[in-house]
Amino acid sequence: MSETEHLGGAKPPKREGKNVKNGIKREGKEETEILPALVNALKNDLGSALEKIEVKDIRIGLAYTGVLLSNGYGGVVCTPLYEFSCCPALGFAGFLKGKTADKLLEFALSENPLEAAIGIATANALSHMLWDLKPENFPISNLDALDLIKPEDRVAMVGYFGPLIPKILKVTNKLTVLEKREIEAPQTRTLPSGKAREIFPVSDIIILSASTLANRTFDELLSLRGAAREVILLGPSAPLYPTPFFEREITAIMGTRIFDPLTMLTVVSEAGGTKKLHQYCGEKVAFRKNDINVIK
């Protein structure tokens, strides 16, 4: 997409037809996909307010991408650097500050993973805003992922959550990690992400990295869930806006609320990861489908 198309306010292209990525075939209809649903839901809830909120700052770091809005809210998403085999530089860099939130939110629909990341980080910041506006719609759960796992459970984890793996193995030894990168993890079985088609249908618990939103694998992975008792969306990239996800059989969202957006920008710029976000500017929060009424 050309720079002028974005600057003119045109929407990023939407996906159509069939596509194969990371060994996973996707054929989902757009109206059933999570990112269009998330964008539309935020637009419906926030309305014309989106046209009055500007993007004050954007940082694209090695680990996370962060967005700061003019109303003081911030959001992050995992930077999808591994989606590129060449230079991922954005041609319209330098023209994003000052854009209204409704325009940046549309980036979530882009085929370009970095553009999508900017849009999802914007959605995350807006979900923080909506949470403050309508707190009654966002009851927090005190559960974490380990509370949902039983000793007999077969667990499939998409994305390598290093600190969580030994904790899960203390509960059950039936853990399979699906990861596109080559990772040495002798303590557990690690397979390419394309193996999800074989692993998911026989899993009791599925833990999905929220980075699957930016790399466009979320919808197809979710369609492979089989009879899993729990499907958990995990990580700071997860939008704190449960309804569209709970309507698509996600049973728990475990993300990060950014309470100090300015410090978040510094952490992102200095290539800080999840540990630094939680140490300096964010806190873990969870939503459980059984604990919340799905708001239409």
pLDDT in the model for residue 117: 94
Domains of the chain, CATH where assigned: 29-137 (3.30.390.100), 145-260+271-291 (3.40.50.11590)
Cα separation, 164 vs 166, in Å, equals: 6
pLDDT of residue 215: 87
- The CA distance from 207 to 233, in Å, is 6
Instruction: Give tens-digit pLDDT for 59-92.
Output: 999 999 999 999 999 999 999 876 554 555 666 6
Which residues lie across from 285 on neighbouring strands?
255
Q: How confident is the model at residue 29 (pLDDT cuts 50, 70, 90)?
A: very low
Q: pLDDT tens across 86-117, in order?
A: 555 666 666 788 999 999 999 999 988 889 99
- Grouping H, G, I as helix, E, B as strand and the rest as coil, residue 100 is strand
pTM across the whole model:
0.85
Bridge-partner residues for 66, per DSSP?
59, 76
Cα 98 to the center of its chain, rounded Å = 24
- SS3 of 32, please? helix
- For residue 19, is pLDDT > 60? no
CA distance 240 to 256: 8
Amino acid making up residue 149:
I
Please name which of 112, 113, 119, 94 lies closest in space to residue 35, comparing C-alpha atoms: 119
Q: How high is the pLDDT of residue 86? A: 52
Model confidence at 7, pLDDT cuts 50, 70, 90, reads very low
Q: pLDDT at position 187, please?
A: 72
At 235-275, the pLDDT tens digits run 999 999 999 999 999 999 999 999 999 999 999 999 999 99
pLDDT at 16 > cutoff 50: no
